Amino acid sequence: MNPLATELNKTIERISPEVYSLLSECGKRLFWPRGILFQSAQAKEKAHRFNATIGEATEGKAPMALPSIAKALGDISTADALRYAPAQGKPELRKAWREKLLEENPTLRDKVFGDPIVTSAITHGLSMVGDLFVDPNDRIVMPDMLWDNYLLNFETRLCAHIDTYQSYDSKGLFNVSALQAALASGPKNEKIVVLLNFPNNPTGYVPGRAEVEGIRAALLAAADAGKRLVVVTDDAYFGLVYDDHALPESIFGFLANIHRSILTIKLDAATKELFVWGLRCGFLTFAPPPVEEADALLAALEKKAMSAIRAVLSNAPAISQSIVLKALRSKTIAAERAEKLAILRGRAIRVNEVVARPEYRSSWDVYPFNAGYFMCIKVKGVSAEALRVYLLDRYGIGVIALGETDLRIAFSSLEEGDVEPLFATLHQAVTELRSAGSS
Residue-wise pLDDT for 148-200, tens only, equals 999 999 999 999 999 999 999 999 999 999 999 999 999 999 999 999 999 99
Domain 3-55+86-328 has CATH 2.60.40.1180: no
Answer whether 0.85 is exceeded by the pTM. yes
Residue 84 DSSP code: P
Q: How confident is the model at residue 47 (pLDDT cuts 50, 70, 90)?
A: confident
* DSSP label of 23: -
Predicted confidence (pLDDT) at residue 437 exceeds the cutoff of 80: no
Does the pLDDT at position 246 exceed 80? yes
| Cis status, amide bond into 199, omega within 30 of 0 | yes
| Rounded-to-integer distance, Cα 265 and Cα 282, Å | 13
- What pLDDT shows up at residue 44? 77
Domain with CATH 3.90.1150.10 in the chain: 334-438
Query: CB–CB of 365/172 below 8 Å?
Result: no
Q: What is the pLDDT of residue 224?
A: 98
Q: Does residue 49 carry a pLDDT above 90?
A: no
Mean pLDDT on 288-292: 97
Residue closest to 387 by CA, chosen among 328, 329, 433: 433
- Which pLDDT does position 60 carry in this prediction? 85
Q: What is the pLDDT of residues 352-379, one digit of tens each?
A: 999 999 999 999 999 999 999 999 999 9
- Give, as one character, the DSSP assignment of residue 174: B
Q: Which of 368, 219, 198, 376 is nearest to 289 (CA)?
A: 219
Question: Closest by alpha carbon to 13, among 25, 21, 1?
Answer: 21
Q: 290, 260 in Cβ contact below 8 A?
A: yes
Q: 23-49 burial, b if ≥16 CB within 10 A, otherwise e?
A: bbebbbbbbbbeeebeebeeeeeeeee
Instruction: Give the model confidence (pLDDT) of 301-341 as tens digits.
Output: 999 999 999 999 999 999 999 999 999 999 999 999 999 99
- Comparing CA positions, the residue from 346, 281, 286 lying closest to residue 133 is 286
Mean pLDDT of the chain: 95
The CA distances from residue 233 to 64, 88, 343, 349, in Å, are 41, 20, 26, 26
Q: What is the predicted pLDDT for the residue at 438?
A: 58
For 32, the enclosing helix (H) or strand (E) is: none
More confident residue, 34 or 236: 236
pLDDT at 271 over 60: yes
Task: Check whether 53 has a pLDDT greater than 80.
Answer: no
Averaged pLDDT for residues 266-292: 97
Question: What is the average per-residue pLDDT within 57-66?
Answer: 90
44 vs 96, more confident: 96
CA 80, 85, 86: angle at the middle one, nearest 5? 145
Residue 35 has pLDDT above 70, yes or no: no
Q: What is the pLDDT of residue 371?
A: 98
User: CB under 8 Å, gap of 24 or more: what pairs does 159-165 form?
Assistant: 160/130, 160/134, 160/135, 160/136, 160/193, 161/137, 163/139, 165/141
| Architecture of the domain defined by 334-438 | Alpha-Beta Complex (3.90)
Containing H/E element for 83?
none
Higher pLDDT, 398 or 55: 398
The residues with which 164 forms a beta bridge, in sequence order, are: 142
